[in-house]
Amino acid sequence: MKRFSFLFTAILVAFIAISQMGTEASQPTFAERFIADQKDGDSGVYTFDRAHSAIGFKVKHNGLIEIPGFFRDFTGSVNYDAKDVSKSTVEFTAKATSIDTGNTGRDNHLRSADFFEVAKYPEITFKSTKIVKKGKSWLVTGDFTMKGVARSITFPFNIVGWLPATERSGARMGIVAATSLNRRDYGINYGNNLPSGIPVISDVINIEFAIEAPMRRETPAATPKPAE
């Protein structure tokens, strides 16, 4: 399966910067056109498009390098209130067994009782309880459950853009978010320290979301057949 990258926002910024080089002042830049095209979306339920989204994480190994990983199987939705975003809700579920770090042996170990114990705890879930404005971003608070442990967490997210509806899909929203968790808070305690005291596996897990979500289209009611 094709791997996703969380660099799409960085690529977009780079493309904007490059497109501005040599542009006459009288002509709108790509950045200006892009920003001008962004309008608040309509209220409705937006469901995660898994083919164009990613839920990933990074864990530092030996205090040196962050090893990336993804959950390949997930679902989620945003019930968006355009008049008052604070009344919106967010929820998602990731299948723990779908963890993928690019190494089969390591992935199988992560599925074991040493880590996620996927046979007993097959899902990782989040359900929001509150959303508040924070500068240009939003803060979402909700119940996060992993390996059977539920804790309230808060993290920032940004709505990075909107696309209008097409014949194939409803209107779309783009969301990026990031947060950090301590794995030991969720009973994932495997791993020793090096002689220097540095942990082989860091306690902190950095989680990143890149979500594209089309608005759910209502299935039209079937037209009743005329009585014969």
Mean pLDDT of the residues in the chain: 84
Question: Which pLDDT score, from 0 to 100, does residue 71 have?
Answer: 98
Q: Which residue has the higher pLDDT, 185 or 18?
A: 185
pLDDT tens for residues 9-58? Answer: 444 444 444 444 444 445 544 334 444 444 578 999 999 999 999 999 99
Least confident residue range of 18-27, 47-56, 121-130, 161-170: 18-27
pLDDT tens for residues 73-95? Answer: 999 999 999 999 999 999 999 99
Question: Which pLDDT score, from 0 to 100, does residue 134 have?
Answer: 87
What band does 225 get if pLDDT is binned at 50, 70 and 90?
A: low
Least confident residue range of 4-18, 90-104, 178-192: 4-18
Amino acid at 206: N
Q: Which residues pair with 141 in a beta bridge?
A: 130, 154
What the block records as the tokens of 127 is 């359900």
- Percent with pLDDT over 70 in the chain: 78
Q: Order of strands across the sheet with 137-146?
A: 44-47, 74-80, 89-95, 123-134, 137-146, 149-163, 172-182, 201-214, 54-61, 65-71, 99-100
Question: Which pLDDT score, from 0 to 100, does residue 165 have?
Answer: 85
Q: Are the CB atoms for 148 and 122 separated by under 8 Å?
A: no
- Count of CB atoms within 10 A of residue 156's CB? 15
1: pLDDT strictly greater than 70: no
